[in-house]
Amino acid sequence: MDKLENIGYGDWFHNQVDVGKIAAHEVARVVAVHKDSYVITKGDGEVFAECSGNLLYASGSPFDLPTTGDWIYADFYDDDSHAIIHGVLPRRTLLKRKTAGKLVDFQLIAANIDFAFIMQSVDYNFNLRRLERYLAMVNENQITPLILLSKCDLVSPDEVEEIKKNIISITPHTSVLAFSNLTRENITAIKSFLSPGKTYCLLGSSGVGKTTLLNSIIGSEQFETQAVSKKQSKGRHTTTSRELVQLDNGALLIDTPGMRELGNMSIGAGIDETFSEILELAEHCQFRDCSHTNEKGCAILAAIKADELDEHRYKNYVKMKTESAFYEMSYSEKRKKDKEFGKMVKSVMKSKKKR
Ligand SMILES: Nc1nc2c(ncn2[C@@H]2O[C@H](COP(=O)(O)OP(=O)(O)OP(=O)(O)O)[C@@H](O)[C@H]2O)c(=O)[nH]1
Ligand SMILES: [Mg+2]
Ligand SMILES: [Zn+2]
């Protein structure tokens, strides 16, 4: 059990185990996900693994399959040289997003994360509205967000302070740290955030310097970063998979590929927490069913007028709420259709057998 605790296992997971499964299999953690295979670990070396046929057959959505950071039930073979995954333990936290494009489906980013580093660079990448999206995604879980401003070597200290002030105005209780991989400013401060046995995740657009930070922390160029010449080629991600790395001090860090689109997938609770002051304001509207568009006695409109609430922030809130409601509706619709399709296939198979 000791080795598992080193890689983040603890009471919360132990109290959720399936008694039958724990008797039949071992517990391990997913380090990386490839196309149809996985890399897992019991805390002493990496093992190649695949899902059992039953697990694949029974899975109705991406939720049911392992993702990076997951705890799983597995059987190990041939001196632990390969393994079969038989199930996923309940997740304490889960980061997910809508898949790119119009498709109503989602993708798991990582599971069982304790802290998320949301990274934006202080140059063209910095954007408060995008930051709100990341915060909503992280706040939906019991994940603590930390905001990292990268490439602070590119602008003046005054500009960095200005950006920090803007961030604090939208999320006063979140830690914000500006750093540079180039000058190594504040790299030690970031390292001091990292505790043994805790799991951290790096989130942010492609090119902000996530993998470079991972290398800065490790102190070697172990992971591939974007070549300087590639900076102009839009839409290419340098990091392509999500991998769990254990640092020297015992902390666990997951680097992720930059995301082009951060669709909301019914992150109602996350949105409400991110924009909590807007919800509070709404309680003071004169009418209970106030739509905050033109009503008399609307506390939100009054706050915007008095410059106490940023109109752009409010608009972003409404936009995210609308999207979230839309996806939630169309996704449950899709699940229903998938189920009906499954039933139809089964009944066709049955009637075929009878004949
Ligand atoms: N000036 C400056 N450039 C940096 C800094 N950190 C990273 N870079 C450069 O930014 C580019 C992108 O860095 P990566 O670490 O590959 O970015 P990433 O966030 O991992 O990108 P994806 O893997 O595509 O999501 C590289 O050319 C880095 O050299 C920094 O602190 N200052
Ligand atoms: Mg990267
Ligand atoms: Zn109102």
Distances from the Cα of 75 to the Cα of 2, 36, 80, 287, 322, angstroms? 19, 17, 9, 59, 44
Question: Has domain 2-88 been given CATH number 3.30.413.10?
Answer: no
Candidate from 159, 205, 212 with most ligand 1 atoms within 8 A of CB, to mutate: 212
Class of domain 94-255 (CATH, top level): alpha beta
**By the 8 A CB rule, do 86 and 20 touch?**
no
Query: Could you state, in order of their start, the residue ranges of all structural domains in the chain?
Result: 2-88, 94-255, 268-348
89: DSSP letter: P
> Which CATH superfamily groups domain 268-348?
Probable gtpase engc; domain 3 (1.10.40.50)
What's the residue count for the chain? 355
226 CA closest ligand 1 atom index: 16
Strands of the chain (E only): list them: 26-33, 38-41, 46-51, 71-77, 82-88, 94-98, 106-111, 115-121, 144-150, 175-178, 199-203, 243-246, 252-255
Tell me the C-alpha distance between 253 and 110, whole Å: 11
* Residue 83: CB atoms within 10 Å: 24
pTM metric for this prediction? 0.86
Q: Would residue 30 be called left, alpha or beta, if left means φ above 0 and alpha means ψ between -120 and 50 degrees?
A: beta
Provide residues with CB under 6 Å of ligand 1: 150-151, 153-154, 180-182, 204, 206-212, 225-226, 228, 237-239, 257-258
Predicted confidence pLDDT, tens digits, the chain (355 residues): 589 999 999 999 999 999 999 999 999 999 999 888 999 999 999 999 999 999 999 888 888 999 999 999 999 999 999 999 999 999 999 998 876 665 667 788 999 999 999 999 998 789 999 999 999 999 988 899 999 999 999 999 999 999 999 999 999 999 999 999 999 999 999 999 999 999 999 999 888 999 999 999 998 888 888 766 544 444 556 777 788 999 999 999 999 888 766 666 556 778 888 999 999 999 999 998 888 888 889 999 999 999 999 999 999 998 888 888 877 777 777 777 766 766 666 666 666 666 5
